[in-house]
Amino acid sequence: MNILLTTTSFADTPGTHHQVLEQSGFAITTVRGPIPEAGLLELIGRHGGFDAFLCGDDHITAKVIDAALPRLRVISKYGIGLDSIDVAAATARHIPVLYTPGVNETTVAEHTIMLMIGVAKNLWLLASAVKAGHWTRRTGKELFGKQLGLVGSGRIAREVAKRATAMGMKIASFGHYWPADMVKNLKIDLYPSVDELLPRCDVVSLHTNLTPETQGLINRRRIALMRDGAILINTGRGGLIVEQDVAEACRSGKLFGYGADTLTHEPMQTPHIFQSVDNILLTPHVGSRTFESVERQGLRAALNTVHFLSGNPDYIQANKF
């Protein structure tokens, strides 16, 4: 058995997840990702295929899956976002797609709050100016008493809601998936659609999956619905926004700023429109990359992979067939 390991945070962070792979007796081929389709096709050809992909945000397309067959037995995602995997193609070919829910919501929620505060307080601009020897001062915004709109109601959104409430923010969202006790205890205002939510919020934070329906969710039309001077945060997926539209809104002052941990194409392809916009705060998709979270996530991903290949039913599968 040969496992292709491509996720860098798994590889770079020490912990018990490495021991699980080492003790499995399986061969491990480690290549630093994320790897595009062409790179995966080349690796498959060079190594004669793999029995498992233990992947991050590599582009596992239908073409890659077909090239990996008949040897490929399982795709194991280190994380929960499956938009870079053609899950439908895997399902049609009876290839299980495993993932790791419930391991990173705490740290991603913390990262979301960090970006929120960073944008509101002009943190990046001020800190970089001081380190460059300039005493540049710029007025920020308080978050206390502000209305936070959460697009999404999953584990991460719920953890953000708890932390934002503790900071004195008011919470709003949409949809029918919030636990009733949380809606009551945190006094969450629910709206039937994104379009009805946006005009009521001082800060909007995106926590929904990237699907054909949510691609470009925040675009020129929806930005026009938002309050003047609103803050937009994205720790979901880069494709949830139209980058050109968000950049223009930040330049014009329609948005006070944008904070994100993800881009439409990663790593950043330069030159990039965001590079010249000073009220956009970016981090390189590290919201779930803490020592604690990596070990939890890595351990679950490693166990998923090893258990499946060993015939142990203790793994978490995202697709059904």
CA 178-296-241 angle, 5° bins: 50
Active-site residue among 285, 296, 300, 307?
285
Q: Does residue 37 have an active-site annotation? A: no
What is residue 261's predicted lDDT score, i.e. its pLDDT? 98
Q: Does residue 237 have an active-site annotation? A: yes
Tens of pLDDT along 143-177?
999 999 999 999 999 999 999 999 999 999 987 78
Tens of pLDDT along 126-138?
999 999 999 999 9
d(CA 299, CA 291): 12
d(CA 3, CA 9): 17
Identify the residue with better confidence: 51 or 176: 51
- Name, in order, each residue with C-beta under 8 angstroms of 166's C-beta and a sequence gap of 6 or more: none
- Name, in order, each residue with C-beta under 8 angstroms of 14's C-beta and a sequence gap of 6 or more: none
Mean pLDDT for the chain overall: 96
What is residue 2's predicted lDDT score, i.e. its pLDDT? 97
Active-site residue among 200, 220, 266, 272?
266
CA 292 remoteness from chain centre: 17
Beta-carbon count within 10 A of 251 CB:
15
Asked if the model's pLDDT at residue 305 lies above 80, the reply is yes
What is residue 22's predicted lDDT score, i.e. its pLDDT? 95
The DSSP code for 153 is -
Q: Where in the chain are all domains bearing CATH 3.40.50.720?
A: 2-103+290-310, 105-282
Q: Does residue 22 have an active-site annotation? A: no
Most distant CA atoms of the chain, gap in Å: 62
**Residue type, position 94, single letter:** H
Burial class of residue 29 in the structure, from the number of CB atoms within 10 Å of its CB (0-12 exposed, 13-18 middle, 19+ buried): middle
Active-site residue among 59, 237, 289, 300?
237
What is residue 176's predicted lDDT score, i.e. its pLDDT? 75
- Asked if 19 and 13 count as a contact pair (C-beta separation under 8 A), the reply is no
Identify the CATH number of the domain defined by range 2-103+290-310. 3.40.50.720
What is residue 175's predicted lDDT score, i.e. its pLDDT? 72
Query: What CATH class has 105-282?
Result: alpha beta
The DSSP code for 317 is B
